[in-house]
């Protein structure tokens, strides 16, 4: 199932949060997840466009997303959580809090290092603490070690399952819709790039703009 840009329907997949490894996670999302791709090249001065496809699903416990990436360059320098993962080959999911106007950013580099925070803006935020970060299931096809490869086409996948408890959602009665955006970046790769699912209308690259989030319908 494919959905159009800036509007998506997320199916319910029972047991998604119980997957023990990437193989199980992929199988569940391949079978029933919604598929999409990051096609918005919002800033012409940054023309690099790796292929990045995603699959999404939810269950009572939380929300899962899987990314499949193909592009030149591969970088992973951030080994500790809440480090500068956006400088690496990185995939991201930003979700608006439906209650208070803030948003959450979950940024996962290609080897599974995670940055996550609750934010009012790019500069005003509270990072998730280590126990909370450890509740996010993470998957990657790459070993957890530093990598730096330039001008070579690479294929890799990563993904995460985010418990609803971390983002203030009751999984037994979730909202009918969520506002979110999905990104691929690599600020310090050999060919920096900034892709999004829903379009962003700013002069310079800026993912921290919830006014441009798209709509996700939570299917019952």
The bridge status of strand 214-218 relative to strand 7-10 is parallel
Give, in words, the CATH class of 7-218: mainly beta
Positions in the chain whose pLDDT score sits under 70: 1-5
CA 33 to CA 56: how far, in whole Å? 5
| Confidence at residue 62, expressed as pLDDT on a 0 to 100 scale | 98
Nearest to 138, CA basis, from 168, 112, 156: 112
Tell me the two tokens of residue 172: 């037994």
State the pLDDT at residue 99: 87
> Could you tell me which residues are beta bridge partners of residue 72?
153
For 58-86, the DSSP string reads: EETTEEEEEEEEEEEEEEE---STTS-GG
E strand or H helix that includes residue 32? helix 22-32
Phi, psi of 69 (to 5 degrees): -120, 140
Note the pLDDT of residue 5.
61
């Amino acid at each position: 199932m494919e959905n159009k840009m800036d509007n998506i329907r997320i199916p319910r997949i029972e047991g998604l949060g119980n997957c023990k490894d990437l193989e199980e996670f992929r199988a569940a999302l391949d079978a029933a997840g919604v598929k999409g791709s990051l096609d918005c090249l919002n800033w012409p001065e940054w023309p690099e466009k790796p292929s990045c496809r995603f699959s999404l699903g939810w269950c009572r416990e939380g929300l899962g997303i899987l990314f499949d990436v193909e592009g030149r360059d591969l970088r992973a320098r951030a080994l500790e959580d809440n480090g500068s993962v956006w400088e690496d080959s990185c995939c991201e999911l930003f979700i608006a809090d439906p209650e208070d106007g803030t948003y959450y950013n979950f940024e996962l580099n290609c080897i599974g290092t995670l940055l996550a925070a609750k934010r009012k803006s790019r500069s005003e935020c509270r990072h998730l603490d280590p126990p909370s970060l450890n509740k996010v299931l993470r998957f990657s096809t790459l070993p957890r070690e530093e990598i730096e490869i330039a001008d070579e086409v690479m294929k890799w996948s990563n993904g995460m399952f985010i418990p609803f408890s971390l983002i203030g959602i009751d999984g037994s009665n979730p909202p009918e819709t969520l506002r979110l955006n999905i990104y691929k970046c690599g600020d310090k790769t050999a060919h920096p790039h900034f892709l999004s699912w829903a379009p962003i209308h700013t002069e310079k690259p800026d993912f921290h703009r919830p006014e441009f989030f798209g709509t996700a319908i939570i299917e019952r």
